[in-house]
Structure 1
């Protein structure tokens, strides 16, 4: 569940009560207005979470006393902004729009999506053709076959039995969906090392994302210039306009910039 500005529900009322238990002084009216958003941001900064004013699964879990050690923190985004030489609000926008929102599933495994068509490309040649004939759900020149959630790890496990390295390289990993085959470009020892880092924490997943930007001079330059259409095109591909990634990035940047994020 994700609660945000404009929502009206019993869940919002419950959120307001939990925030009041942590020092807020809200009227538990069930309306997610400016005061509630501000209280959420204050709580997020106080606990070190990403301070976006949105009560997503991480914030709600934290309010209930869950362990947030592996989660992305405000300080991590600040460090990334300093390293890339861009405003903190720009990193917040990227995290909001380009991230899946969380880097780990409820069972503790990193979020992944196995791409069977990438597996086909990584294997190449007669072997790829033969394995595609025998295992079309795992090796296929056409994308698809997605199941989602924890089931993607089952698909990956089956693919690893065919070829461990190619399988790991054929999945996107973590909150920022970095493909495994980028491991060498990003400075990891091998794809297994990359996967090990992606399984450690969301800050490690952000590290891979920062390296992805650093090692693409054109993308890095576009981000520094805040040219959101170019950023979206380079990161999301030619179809970025269909999903309005550039518009979403610009709006998110303006929203976070307007709230003048404080460095925790």
Structure 2
């Protein structure tokens, strides 16, 4: 998915949301914003929003002298999600289709996006996920492919959300499928890293690896050999969140292993997916 002009305000919004995690003054915030603006003409107009956002956000972190401005916020979102897990596990247990329920719970967690949404209602998102269907739904084809699958790779997205992904990994494991879960190599926004995977117990549920990359989403040319091997060997790949959609959507047109699981949280992504803003999707590209 290539950038459009409407992506530019989003770079600034992500910058402001990052600065809001700090205790610096408004004047200092304004100066950092001014220092990032000269980067904008250098951003690749043929790149993806995820790649260009990363370039801007890395500069913001550099100017802040803080590699992980969202560190405390990520811990809080993990704790919030962990408190909800017992009741969510019970919902899955009582469901007539536990795998579908775990997918809905995993996508409900996708509301935890501190780069785009300053405020979010996790419990409200869960209630909505229980009541609504996916706006685009390729679950039946996923089920068919699962019958032959032995290895699944889940591309993680945000902290907090990763706790809900643990329930999805658990359901897939119960089907006899080996699950590998990929996290970011370094902090960027509130994306999940190995620290988050350990915090929520994902490392106890699945094999967890770093993708070796500094970018939002999954930019294969920047990923580690270990990740690329896992990517190559996977029978199915579940791509969580907008940034993974932005960076892999074009590949998904050829690679029928890729399923995208997300909420459309911006109008450009929603339009690209052919859904309404805020709707949930589980789809092939």
| Shorter-chain TM-score above 0.5 | no
Q: Greater strand share, 1 or 2? A: 2
TM-score calculated relative to the size of structure 1: 0.29
Tell which structure's C-alpha radius of gyration is larger: 1
